Structure 1
Amino acid sequence: MSLRQIEPKQRGFLVVNSHPEGAAQTVHRMWDGIPARSGGRRPVALILGHSAGYGLATLLAGLRQHGIRGIGVAFEAADTGRRTATAGWYRTEATAQLAAAADHDIRFVNTDAFSADAKTEIADLLEQHYGQVDYLVYSLAAPRRTDPATGIVHHSVIKPLGAPYEAPALDFSGTDPQVSRARIAAGTEDEARATVAVMGGDDWHLWVRALAARQLLADGFTTVALTYVGSEVTAPVYRQGTIGAAKEHLEQTAHDLNSSTLLKEKDGRAFTVVAGAAVTQASSAIPSIALYTAFLRTVLGEAGFRTTTEQAIDLWDQLEGRTPLVLDEAGRIRLDGWELDDQVQDRVRRLWADPERGLEEARSGADWFMSQVQELYGWGVDGTVYGQPVETDVPWPRR
Structure 2
Amino acid sequence: MIVKPKVRGFICTTAHPEGCEAHVQEQIAHAKKHKVENGAKNVLIIGSSTGFGLASRIAATFSCGANTIGVFYEKPSQNGRTASAGWYNTVAFDRFAREAGVVSKSINGDAFSDEIKEETIQAIKDSVGKVDLVIYSVASPRRTHPKTGETFTSVLKPIGGTYSSKTVNTKSDEVSNVSIEPATEQEVQDTVAVMGGEDWQMWMDALQAADVLEQGVKTLSFSYIGPELTYPIYTNGAIGKAKEDLDRTAKVLNESLSPVGGKAYVSVNKALVTQSSSAIPVVPLYISILFKVMKEKGIHEGCGEQMVRMFADRLYGGESVQCAEDGRIRMDDWEMREDVQAEVAQIWEKVNSDNLYELSDIEGYKKDFMKLFGFEFDKIDYEKDVDVELSL
Q: TM bucket by the smaller chain?
A: over 0.9
1:13 paired with 2:10, answer yes
Candidates 201, 222, 232, aligned match of 1:236: 232
2:75 touches 2:83 (CA, 8 Å); kept in 1?
yes
Per the alignment, residue 85 of structure 2 pairs with: 87
1:348 paired with 2:344, answer yes
Secondary structure of 1:66's match? coil
1:11 touches 1:173 (CA, 8 Å); kept in 2?
no
The separation in 2 between residues aligned to 1:373 and 1:215, in whole angstroms, is 40
Candidates 275, 286, 292, aligned match of 1:281: 275
4+ residue runs over 3 A deviation: 36-42, 321-326
Residues 59-138 of structure 1: matches in 2 within 5 Å?
A: 59-138=57-136
Post-superposition shift, 1:299? 1.0
1:12–1:117 Cα change, 3 Å? closer
Write the deviation string for residues 291-332 of structure 1: whole angstroms up to 9, x where unpaired.
000000111116321121221112212222447633223211
Per the alignment, residue 311 of structure 1 pairs with: 306
Per the alignment, residue 316 of structure 2 pairs with: 320
The separation in 2 between residues aligned to 1:194 and 1:41, in whole angstroms, is 37
Per the alignment, residue 149 of structure 1 pairs with: 147
Secondary structure of 1:271's match? strand
Secondary structure of 1:259's match? helix
1:32 paired with 2:22, answer no
Post-superposition shift, 1:242? 0.5
Secondary structure of 1:369's match? helix
The separation in 1 between residues aligned to 2:114 and 2:191, in whole angstroms, is 20
The separation in 2 between residues aligned to 1:36 and 1:316, in whole angstroms, is 10
The separation in 2 between residues aligned to 1:137 and 1:42, in whole angstroms, is 11
Post-superposition shift, 1:358? 5.9
Secondary structure of 1:21's match? helix
1:321–1:367 Cα change, 3 Å? closer
1:154 touches 1:197 (CA, 8 Å); kept in 2?
yes
Post-superposition shift, 1:381? 1.4
The separation in 1 between residues aligned to 2:305 and 2:222, in whole angstroms, is 15
The separation in 1 between residues aligned to 2:377 and 2:319, in whole angstroms, is 33
1:304–1:325 Cα change, 3 Å? same
1:48 touches 1:140 (CA, 8 Å); kept in 2?
yes
1:323–1:379 Cα change, 3 Å? farther
CA RMSD between the two structures: 1.6
Per the alignment, residue 365 of structure 2 pairs with: 369
Secondary structure of 2:55's match? helix
Q: Which residue identity lines up with residue 56 of structure 2 in the other structure?
A: T
Post-superposition shift, 1:59? 0.6
Candidates 270, 273, 295, aligned match of 1:301: 295
2:20 touches 2:373 (CA, 8 Å); kept in 1?
yes
Post-superposition shift, 1:361? 2.8
Candidates 45, 50, 62, aligned match of 1:52: 50
Write the deviation string for residues 75-116 of structure 1: whole angstroms up to 9, x where unpaired.
000111242100000000111111111111111111111100
The separation in 2 between residues aligned to 1:283 and 1:39, in whole angstroms, is 32
Per the alignment, residue 163 of structure 1 pairs with: 161
Unaligned runs of 5+ in 2: none
The separation in 1 between residues aligned to 2:355 and 2:155, in whole angstroms, is 29
Candidates 325, 336, 339, aligned match of 2:335: 339
The separation in 1 between residues aligned to 2:3 and 2:55, in whole angstroms, is 27
Write the deviation string for residues 58-77 of structure 1: whole angstroms up to 9, x where unpaired.
11011011111130111000
- TM-score by length of structure 1 reads 0.94
- TM-score by length of structure 2 reads 0.95
Secondary structure of 2:18's match? helix
1:13 touches 1:373 (CA, 8 Å); kept in 2?
no
Moved more, 8-17 or 97-106: 8-17
The separation in 2 between residues aligned to 1:121 and 1:324, in whole angstroms, is 32
- The alignment covers a number of residue pairs equal to 388
The separation in 2 between residues aligned to 1:315 and 1:120, in whole angstroms, is 29
Per the alignment, residue 183 of structure 2 pairs with: 187
Post-superposition shift, 1:360? 4.7
The separation in 2 between residues aligned to 1:161 and 1:20, in whole angstroms, is 40
Q: Which residue identity lines up with residue 287 of structure 1 in the other structure?
A: P
The separation in 2 between residues aligned to 1:36 and 1:327, in whole angstroms, is 21
